[in-house]
């Protein structure tokens, strides 16, 4: 007879539990990222917004992966990985290949200390142009609505041409008013046509009164200088 209470202890989960499994997670991230590219401002839960922001700005799930060995039923994961991750996106770039082994599962490098590839965002790939094979493959995979591919290359990429990061902005909003009371957030691409989420800091120097006072001081200083010279 067991007289102790069994405690459920987390041993370093490497990713948020979003969706019903690996397949559901990838599909959900693709749909949210597609909505972000289309509308440039979306409202979702904070967990999903933070996760999508990481992929939209810092890196994509298929790019910065490192092999991490697992000790449980690797064959169950193999079917999912073959169907949804092992595609033409897995390529070798110089001496830094995107590694994969049958006894390993890929883990995002931000969740793991050791890594061997450089992070690159969807916007960074788009900056390479629509003639780049890798850029087109990434856009075709992540954008479920294919009519958005021209927007990615012709609108968003030129907008952030002079930036090397910081393409998105996330703001917290009140919790959802239903039974789950989920924490909500707004995620947007910077430079969108909508009103700003945060109030714009007013420049009082350009006010009419301040401009008149500035002109008065300049004229007074000029008259003082002319009086001294005469």
Instruction: Give me the DSSP letters along 117-162.
Output: S----HHHHHTT-TT-HHHHHHHHHH-SSGGGHHHIIIIIHHHTTT
pLDDT of residue 226: 81
Does 14 have pLDDT greater than 80? no
Rounded CA separation 132/209 (Å): 54
| Beta bridge partner(s), residue 81 | none
pLDDT of residue 91: 35
Both 92 and 130 in one domain: the answer is yes
Is 133 within the bounds of a domain?
A: yes
What's the number of domains the chain is made of?
A: 2
pTM: 0.57
CATH number at residue 78: 3.90.1030.10
Both 175 and 205 in one domain: the answer is no
Structural domain boundaries, residue 155: 22-188
């Amino acid at each position: 007879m067991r007289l102790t209470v069994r405690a459920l202890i987390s041993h370093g989960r490497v990713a948020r539990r979003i969706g019903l499994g690996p397949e559901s997670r990838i599909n959900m991230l693709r749909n949210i990222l597609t909505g972000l590219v289309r509308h440039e401002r979306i409202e979702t839960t904070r967990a999903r917004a933070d996760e999508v922001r990481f992929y939209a700005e810092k890196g994509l799930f298929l790019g910065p992966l490192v092999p991490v060995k697992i000790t449980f039923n690797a064959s169950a994961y193999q079917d999912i990985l073959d169907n949804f991750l092992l595609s033409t996106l897995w390529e070798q770039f110089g001496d830094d290949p995107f590694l994969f082994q049958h006894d390993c599962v890929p883990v995002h490098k931000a969740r793991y200390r050791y890594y061997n590839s450089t992070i690159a965002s969807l916007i960074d790939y788009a900056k390479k142009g629509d003639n780049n094979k890798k850029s087109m493959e990434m856009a075709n995979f992540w954008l479920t609505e294919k009519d958005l591919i021209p927007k990615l290359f012709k609108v968003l990429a030129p907008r952030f041409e002079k930036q090397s990061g910081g393409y998105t902005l996330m703001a917290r909003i009140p919790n959802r008013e239903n039974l789950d009371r989920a924490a909500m957030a707004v995620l947007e691409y910077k430079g969108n046509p909508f009103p700003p989420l945060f109030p714009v800091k007013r420049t009082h120097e350009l006010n009419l009164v301040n401009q008149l006072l500035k002109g008065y001081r300049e004229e007074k200083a000029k008259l003082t200088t002319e009086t001294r010279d005469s």
